[in-house]
Amino acid sequence: MKIRKIYISGKITGLPIGEVIAKFHAAEDKIRRFGFEPVSPLGNGLPLDTDWADHMGKDISLLLKSDAIYLLPDYDESRGAQIELCVALHQRMPVFVESTSYQNFAAFNVHTFEKYDTKEA
**Fold entry, domain 5-72+82-111:** Rossmann fold (3.40.50)
Name every residue whose Cβ is closer than 8 Å to that of residue 23 and which is 6 or more positions away in sequence.
10, 72
Beta bridge partners of 7: 39, 69
Q: Where are the domains of the chain?
A: 5-72+82-111
More confident residue, 30 or 116: 30
Model confidence pLDDT, tens digit, residues 32-73: 999 999 999 999 999 988 999 999 999 999 999 999 999 999
- In this prediction, residue 97 has a pLDDT band, given cuts at 50, 70 and 90, of confident
Instruction: With residue 8 as reference, give the H or E element that holds it.
Output: strand 5-9
Q: Which amino acid makes up residue 99?
A: S
Q: Report which of 40, 43, 37 is spatially closest to residue 2, judged by C-alpha positions.
A: 37
Task: Judge contact between 92 and 109, C-beta under 8 A.
Answer: no
Model confidence pLDDT, tens digit, residues 63-90: 999 999 999 999 989 999 999 999 999 9
Give SS3 for 33. Answer: helix
Task: Give residue 98's pLDDT.
Answer: 79
Q: Which amino acid makes up residue 79?
A: R
